[in-house]
Amino acid sequence: MATFPLPFIPTLSYKTGGRRFGANRDGGKRKHAACDLIAPKGTEIYAVENGKVTYGPYLFYRGTYAIEFRLDSGKVVRYCEIEKVASGIAVGSTLTEGTLIAYVGKMYVDSMLHFELYNGSGTGSLTVRSNSPYQRRSDLINPTDYLDGCALLGAVQYPVGCALPGP
Ligand SMILES: [Zn+2]
């Protein structure tokens, strides 16, 4: 099971409103290519699985940054609208699931992690303006089910019927 990228599940659902994957943008001219995880500026962002940083950080949107990494499973993840990466994180960094990678950034009003997921079959830039409606590489996938399947960092899974540890 993958680790959720934030230390908590956002109160504002990433499955509804303008935060959801596929929500209209620019009056319907394009669609939202990610799930937006609303969180205070500076919130820690973790690696969802083991992988390696492939690109970034680079300027993304309104003074925030993006970083890309490839999971050992082959999927590609892009964390966008981040404030900065964590100390020691750069291209080539090996990521262990749960590693602190970056911090949530703030645009004019909102602060969030814009979470994009790709199946990894594509090559080249993840942003492809000519590829409507998402304006992303063709191997973009809806990350909603993936995020739903993540466990919070530090959440201990006990087998069914197992006694919880005492005080
Ligand atoms: Zn977004």
Report pLDDT digits (tens) over 138-152.
999 999 999 999 999
Do 71 and 28 contact (CB within 8 A), yes or no?
Answer: no
Mean per-residue pLDDT for 126-147? Answer: 97
Q: Residue 11's pLDDT is what?
A: 95
CA–centroid distance, 166 to ligand 1, in Å, is: 42
98 has a pLDDT exceeding 60: yes
CA–centroid distance, 20 to ligand 1, in Å, is: 8
Between the CA atoms of 14, 20, 26 and 28, what dihedral angle is there, to the nearest 10 degrees? -160
CA–centroid distance, 154 to ligand 1, in Å, is: 26
Q: Residue 84's pLDDT is what?
A: 95
CA–centroid distance, 113 to ligand 1, in Å, is: 7
75 has a pLDDT exceeding 60: yes
Tell me the average pLDDT of the chain: 93
Cβ-proximal residues to 153 (8 Å cutoff; 6+ apart), any chain? 3, 4, 7, 46, 98
CA–centroid distance, 32 to ligand 1, in Å, is: 6
Q: Residue 22's pLDDT is what?
A: 98
Domains, the chain, with CATH or none: 17-146 (2.70.70.10)
160 has a pLDDT exceeding 80: no
Q: Provide the strand spans (E) within 1-110.
A: 24-25, 30-31, 35-38, 44-46, 51-61, 64-71, 76-85, 94-95, 100-106
Q: Residue 61's pLDDT is what?
A: 84
90 has a pLDDT exceeding 60: yes
